Structure 1
Amino acid sequence: MPRAEGPRGACPYPRHDGGSPEIALKDTAPHNPQMPCRLDRRTLLAASIAASVAGRAARAVPADSRAPGIAITIDDFDLSDTPLLSGEARDTAIRTVLARHAIKAAGFVAGKYGQGARSDKVLAAWSNAGHLLGNHSFSHRYFSGRDPDAFMADILRCEPLLSGYTGFRRLFRFPFLAEGKTAAGRDRMRALLKAHGYANAHVTIDTSDWYVDNRLRARLDATPRADIAPYRRFYLDHVWDRATFYDRLAQRVLGHSIDHTLLLHHRLTTGLFLGDLLAMFKARGWRLVDAETAFAAPLFAAEPDVLPAGQSLVWALAKADGRYETLLRYPGEDGAYEAPRMDAAGL
């Protein structure tokens, strides 16, 4: 797995030469705040910001809510038909599960997918059910930091497709969780979003659900009657693994668990397995929370000073802190990390 090197002058932190970041996260001892450290100005500033955010978030967490919470956020809204489920049937299945568990999710719509009668019907159903609708840009392009003004224009191009629904909020989710590779581009983009009344709809638990979905769909295209149970098991194990990793990272950086926002996509895996996923989290002691509740936490106003900008918000706060470099891979999630395990399992 790729490992980033720690910033020069950062506080010493044990490096694990082998194993996964998750193992390192469980096994390394917490940093001793009394340990003398030589910090450069940039690292001090990052640590100060992270500490400030942590303090505000800690005050906002009720004493009886220390178990992690999880909110469902679903990206793209590509309503193309898939094996086993049409786009509309998939959406109906997703909303039925959310209603059964009495939680309100957030959908982030990429405009290039959100046009036509089918999309209008689905978005109206989401809004009427009390779910949030946010902006995911029109073209779903990767933002490298170049030409933020053109990127903002693409965001605004998507807004008329959403603004007529009562569920619409000016929440923006960066495609690919990419917020810029340069400080100038990152900061200009943040200023533009604020100027147009948008908040960053951060992910805290990133996943590669899209990759599991790609593999499942390829199998079903080749073998329509293929057994999907192994894919269900892999999917649930994958999401649980990523959820526990990011929650443990939040505990180390912030001092407590948080109400997380889980990244999923409007894909076949979500239509088939979301019910199992929510039941799993509940059975393992996590709380299901509404997306609007999660996004309202002060933590989500954080703007970590890291480059490349983006990834999970928890990942970015850990990066800005400077003490957790050995735990962080870049990108945080990618199909390349899951491919060997799926290959080995014959999936």
Structure 2
Amino acid sequence: MSGLAAGWASGAQGRTARSPGIAVTIDDFDLTDTPLMSGEERDAAIRAALARHRVKAAGFVAGKYVGDSLDPAVLARWSDGGHILGNHSFSHRYFGGEDPAGFMADVLKCEPLLSGYAGFRRLFRFPYLAEGKIAAGRDTMRALLKRHGYRNAPVTIDTSDWYVDNRLKARLLADPRQSMEPYRRFYLGHVWERATFYDGLAQSLFGHSIDHTILLHHRLTTGLFLDDMLAMFEERGWRLVDADKALASPLLAREPEGLPAGQSLVWALAKADGRYEGRLRYPGEDGAYEAPRMDALGL
């Protein structure tokens, strides 16, 4: 655990008067069936957890999943439930900075699949949180998004939930009777560690905690553990925040100049600040960081 995270691992102890907030954002919306849950069952579990905690989320939908593998009724349920639907591009490809016009065309290709829902907002989430490795491409893409009325929807708390999910699904395929408890403990510990790390960065940068946006994916782990995750944050003194409120913060409109652009916005601002080199790994999150710990635990 990093020094920044260690200072916050005790939860409520040592907080400033402004406790951190957390808003749920969920990417991709791949409704492929998984062990234990079909895609629609997983989605119902996610929405039920949000409803139990009285919080509204933002879903960033990749257009390639809308169609045979995604029942449009799912999007209607999100919209009707007061959640945001945002654009995650059509093809979900990595943006390295080359051909920003072509990448923008892919973003616009996704829009008609979402624009008929009341919950649609012109908010864009870069796939892989990759916003360009070259300054010209980064800046052109920023200008194109603004020209078409889009705002970037950054993440402040990044996670490797996708990797934990991959490991869990592989284990369930090998042993359908596998207990969920060790995976639940690891998942919650991972999310808490990363949240406290990024909030520690925010405190150091701004002098206070912020309303964070956490990156999760429409995966089995989210269906199984989101309710526990939200309860954990509440029990440890964090506020649950609606996604529209968090995403409207002027802080999230900041555009760091560093390269490669992207990652967590808090990470990127710390990178641009220059004082945090010893605390910032690149990429900020990756399965390679979690693999040794999961291996050691037999997960």
Size of the alignment, in residue pairs?
291
Q: Which residue matches 1:296?
A: 248
**TM value normalised by structure 1:** 0.82
* Aligned counterparts, 1:1-347, within 5 A: 22-23=2-3, 66-116=18-68, 118-347=70-299
Within 2, Cα distance between the matches of 1:298 and 1:84?
41
**Cα offset for 1:117?**
8.0
Give ranges in structure 2 of 5+ residues lacking alignment: 8-15
Q: Greater shift after overlay, 267-276 or 112-121?
A: 112-121
Distance 1:343 1:113 in 2: 32
Q: CA deviation digits over 1:35-89, x for unaligned, max 9?
A: xxxxxxxxxxxxxxxxxxxxxxxxxxxxx97100000000000000000000000
Output the amino acid matched with 1:331.
Answer: P
CA contact (8 A) 2:62 2:90 kept: yes
Residue 299 of structure 1 and its aligned partner are, at CA, apart by 0.4
Change (3 A) 1:168 1:254: same
TM-superposition CA deviations, 1:147-206 (whole Å, max 9, x none)? 000000000000000000000000000000000000000000000000000000000000
1: CA distance, partners of 2:60 / 2:69: 18
**Residues 294, 109 of structure 1: CA spacing in aligned structure 2 closer, same or farther, 3 A cutoff?**
same
Query: Could you tell me whether the CA contact under 8 Å between 2:5 and 2:194 is conserved in 1?
Result: no
Aligned-pair CA distance for 1:135 = 0.2
Q: CA RMSD in A?
A: 1.3
The question of whether the paired residues in 2 share the 8 Å contact of 1:173 and 1:200 is answered with: yes
Are the structure 2 counterparts of residues 312 and 220 from structure 1 closer, same or farther at C-alpha, using a change threshold of 3 Å? same
- How far apart are 1:24 and its partner, in Å? 6.0
TM-score w.r.t. the length of structure 2 is 0.95
Alpha carbons 1:115, 1:161 under 8 Å: kept: no
Which amino acid counterpart does residue 79 of structure 2 have in structure 1?
Answer: S
Pair 1:159–1:345, CA change in 2 (3 A): same
Q: CA deviation at 1:254?
A: 1.1
What is the Cα deviation at residue 228 of structure 1? Answer: 1.3
Q: Structure 1 regions of 5+ residues with no counterpart?
A: 1-19, 28-63
Greater gyration radius? 1
Structure 1 stretches of 4+ moved >3 Å? 24-27
Residue identity over aligned pairs, in percent, reads 75
Amino acid at match of 1:92: A
Q: Distance in 1 between matches of 2:208 and 2:120?
A: 31
